[in-house]
């Protein structure tokens, strides 16, 4: 393993032990704060109109609501408004407030946009270089004493930056996408002083200088152009990245694919003249480099009047009425309780969230379900389990879905699922994918290990992700802490490029996770019936804090067949709190003692 630069923490002193044992919700200081007015917003701050009855026609378009703040270069006191949002959101890990900070095309000088929880910052140009900040978009970890391993749920998209110091800081963990960004300088992925960090995801971006991960334990970069890469700790994965380092796993731990087999960039809101529209990028095959590196991203523009703009007060009945009328959905920042499943049945429907809109199912319903049709796009949503058990938070395609969608697949991008943390949450399976050819592009599916409503019997959930469809591709897959398989794959032709996992911390004893004749449930299980499957750059970590004597047979399990292949696997015992016996099946000595050093398998079988 390459040693991190001087001043960077060493892998043996793993941050997850402090992060994952952290059980206090950091909401009390911010829940009583005054709500920030939507200064500079394109919308009035007037109260939302009463919800329509489900039978009434739903009108598309309209304003973006009070939680969306829109700036142009002439807006007064932009820095003050950015600072006001950050002061509320810096440590608001399980708060209910949500913000989207949108910048119209133009040049902005001397800004430092610090990005806290549930905050998205984005440009409103057609391309990233249309909106330029001479300054920084910063994520640091001052709120958590220099530990960035809990810097979740924030994003930056569709902007160009010239960092003041020549290097922009983006010290994040999971669920913090960095998309369609142009950094005219370097990018630092660790907190000030190179404290702990555990992320992360970059896609469709250009970084002219070097990306320096320092203490970042794992990272996935897709379809981008970079000036260089600094170092690796455990698991750095690249696909379709021009300027990526060469394949060298495990020393340094770089897994490199020259192209991404199939990708479609995330839809985004932009200004088409004076009017809002959503741009839907086209499907790419064997992609390399940012989609806009040599001109505008190919795709289709959809006017906002073809969207129902979901704001405070919207009901599931109204949302479903809008869908039945053929409207798309634009969820604005907020928390939405739904007492019936949001059913998406029309091909090519776009469901886009800005500012981490959060959907909570009430009464044990499934939050979102799609039909087995072409080209649905789900993006930018946080699905939060409710207090009554739901069978799923997201179900892509019905059980038994069989249609082919290779030319126009459904895509699930920056859709995050959470079970507990903000309060008690229960779901049997967080996400199930039944539709063939689905693209899962960056998701964090998390059974909470800290916060409120957390415990082996308090936020129970069996499975994180079940993949039953054929030819499903996952790029940037993060799944953690479920009580059985975090990922179970039964569809044929599946592929995963980058996987990050932590096994559940809280089983009370060995018997609680006995799986037939196996000790524990693998983090990533390919069913015995599967004949073709492939994975690149997959890691699983254990920290059995309730009973450090627990042993897990393996992080990964798969049938031994010619068509089932894995490249660059690792397991890590965090501080020796529990152990893996093997890496995959009975291959690889998973035991690393107390040293927090990965056990690696370069190729399987």
Q: What is the DSSP string of 226-274?
A: EEEE---SSEEEEEEEETPPPP-TTSS-EEEESSEEEEEPPPEEEEETT
Residues linked to residue 109 through DSSP beta bridges, in sequence order: 134
CB 267 within 8 A of CB 279: yes
Residue 108 DSSP class: E
Cis peptide upstream of residue 605 (ω within 30 degrees of 0): yes
SS3 string, 89-100, reads: HCCCCCCCCCEE
| Sign of torsion over alpha carbons 451, 452, 455, 459 | negative
Residues linked to residue 467 through DSSP beta bridges, in sequence order: 433, 489
Gap between the Cα atoms of 221 and 238, Å rounded: 5
Neighbours of 531 (CB within 10 A): 11
Structure-token pair, residue 363: 């009464």
Gap between the Cα atoms of 274 and 184, Å rounded: 28
Which entry of 90, 157, 432, 502 is annotated as an active-site residue?
502
Gap between the Cα atoms of 489 and 214, Å rounded: 33
Gap between the Cα atoms of 484 and 496, Å rounded: 20
CB 120 within 8 A of CB 139: no
> Is residue 265 annotated as a catalytic residue, yes or no?
no
Element (H, E) at 88: helix 78-89
Question: Cα 464 vs. chain centroid, distance in angstroms?
Answer: 14
Gap between the Cα atoms of 205 and 243, Å rounded: 12
Gap between the Cα atoms of 367 and 338, Å rounded: 7
Catalytic sites, residue numbers: 502
């Amino acid at each position: 393993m390459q040693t991190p630069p001087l001043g960077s923490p060493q892998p043996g002193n793993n941050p997850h032990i402090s992060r994952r044992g952290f059980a206090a919700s950091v909401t009390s200081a911010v829940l009583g704060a005054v709500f920030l007015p939507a200064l500079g917003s394109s919308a009035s701050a007037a109260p939302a109109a009463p919800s329509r009855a489900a039978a009434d026609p739903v009108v598309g378009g309209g304003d973006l609501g009070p939680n969306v703040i829109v700036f142009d270069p002439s807006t007064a006191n932009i820095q003050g408004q950015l600072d006001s949002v950050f002061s509320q959101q810096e440590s608001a890990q399980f708060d209910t407030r949500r913000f989207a900070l949108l910048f119209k095309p133009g040049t902005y000088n001397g800004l430092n946009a610090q990005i806290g929880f549930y905050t998205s910052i984005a440009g409103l140009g057609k391309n990233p270089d249309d909106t330029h900040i001479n300054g920084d978009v910063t994520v640091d970890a001052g709120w958590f004493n220099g530990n960035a391993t809990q810097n979740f749920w924030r994003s930056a998209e569709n902007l160009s930056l010239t960092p003041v110091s020549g290097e922009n800081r983006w010290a994040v963990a999971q669920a913090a996408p960095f998309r369609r960004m142009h950094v005219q300088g370097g990018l630092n992925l660790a907190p000030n002083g190179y404290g702990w960090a555990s992320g992360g995801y970059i896609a469709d971006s250009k970084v002219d200088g070097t990306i320096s991960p320092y203490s970042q334990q794992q990272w996935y970069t897709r379809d981008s152009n970079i000036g260089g890469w600094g170092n690796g700790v455990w698991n750095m994965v690249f696909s379709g990245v021009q300027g990526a380092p060469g394949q060298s796993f495990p020393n340094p731990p770089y897994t490199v694919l020259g192209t991404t087999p199939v990708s479609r960039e995330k839809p985004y809101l932009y200004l088409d003249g004076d009017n809002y529209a959503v741009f839907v990028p086209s499907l790419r095959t064997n992609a390399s480099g940012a989609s806009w590196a040599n001109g505008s991203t190919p795709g289709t523009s959809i006017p906002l009047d073809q969207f129902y703009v979901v704001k405070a007060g919207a009901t599931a009945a109204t949302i479903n009425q809008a869908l039945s009328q053929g409207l798309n959905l634009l969820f604005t920042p907020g928390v939405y309780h739904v007492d019936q499943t949001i059913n998406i049945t029309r091909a090519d429907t776009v469901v886009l969230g800005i500012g981490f809109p959060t959907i909570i199912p009430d009464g044990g319903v499934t939050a979102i379900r799609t039909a087995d049709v072409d080209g649905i796009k789900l993006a930018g949503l946080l699905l939060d389990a409710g207090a009554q058990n739901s069978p799923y938070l997201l179900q892509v395609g019905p059980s038994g879905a069989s249609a082919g969608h290779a030319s126009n697949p459904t895509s699930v991008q920056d859709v995050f699922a959470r079970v507990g943390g903000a309060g008690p949450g229960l779901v049997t399976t967080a996400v199930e994918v039944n539709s063939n050819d689905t693209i899962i592009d960056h998701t964090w599916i998390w059974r909470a290990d800290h916060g409120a409503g957390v415990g082996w019997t308090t936020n129970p959930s069996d499975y994180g992700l079940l993949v039953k469809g054929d030819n499903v591709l996952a790029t940037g897959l993060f799944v953690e802490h479920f009580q059985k398989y975090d990922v179970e794959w039964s569809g044929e032709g599946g592929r995963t490029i980058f996987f990050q996992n932590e096994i559940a911390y809280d089983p009370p004893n060995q018997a609680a996770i006995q799986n037939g004749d196996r000790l524990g449930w693998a983090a990533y299980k390919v069913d015995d019936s599967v004949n073709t499957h492939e994975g690149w750059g997959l890691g699983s970590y254990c920290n059995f804090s309730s009973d450090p004597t627990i042993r897990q047979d393996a992080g990964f399990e798969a049938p031994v067949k010619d068509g089932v292949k894995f490249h660059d696997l690792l397991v890590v015992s965090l501080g020796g709190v529990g152990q893996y016996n093997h890496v995959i099946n009975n291959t690889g000595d998973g035991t690393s003692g107390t040293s927090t050093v990965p056990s690696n398998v370069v190729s399987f079988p």
